[in-house]
């Protein structure tokens, strides 16, 4: 249940959860999985702590880009049909 990495920053503020806890739970949070700390506290932290917030943004972008790969696979199948048509008739 623990993530291995140490956070490389600590906002040190008076936020309800600290950066180390965020580092442990941010992935599950982004995945919509259960997290055993307060979601609200996590959101407040990501909102106010720039390093953690930017890191979470990076992981969200990564997830979006990865999810896109699924639709790209079916697109490749479609494009194969197009190529077939182009090779046989010279048009789409």
CA distance 68 to 76: 13
Helix ranges, the chain (H): 19-30, 39-48, 50-89
Closest CA to 55 of 26, 14, 15, 84: 26
From residue 26 to residue 65, what is the string marking binding to Zn ion with x (rule CB under 5 A)?
-----------------------x--x-------------
When asked if residue 54 is in the footprint of other proteins (CB under 8 A), the reply is yes
Under the binding rule (CB under 8 A), the answer on residue 12 touching other proteins is no
Which of 38, 43, 47, 62 forms a contact with other proteins (CB under 8 A)?
A: 62
- The stretch near other proteins (CB under 8 A) out of 4-12, 13-21, 41-49 is 4-12
Chain-centre distance for alpha carbon 75? 23
Query: Rounded distance, CA 19 to CA 5, Å?
Result: 12
Q: Measure the CA–CA gap between 63 and 57, rounded to whole angstroms.
A: 10
Binding site for other proteins (CB under 8 A): 1-5, 8-9, 27-28, 31, 33, 51, 54-55, 58-59, 61-63, 65-72, 75-76, 78-80, 82-83, 86-87, 89-92
């Amino acid at each position: 249940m623990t993530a291995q990495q140490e956070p490389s920053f600590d906002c040190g503020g008076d936020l309800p959860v600290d950066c180390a806890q965020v580092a442990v739970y941010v992935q599950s949070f982004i995945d919509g999985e259960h997290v055993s700390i307060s979601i609200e506290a996590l959101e407040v932290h990501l909102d106010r702590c720039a390093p953690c917030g930017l890191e979470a943004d990076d992981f969200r972008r990564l997830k979006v880009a990865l999810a896109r790969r699924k639709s790209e696979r079916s697109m490749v199948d479609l494009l194969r049909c197009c190529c077939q048509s182009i090779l046989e008739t010279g048009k789409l």
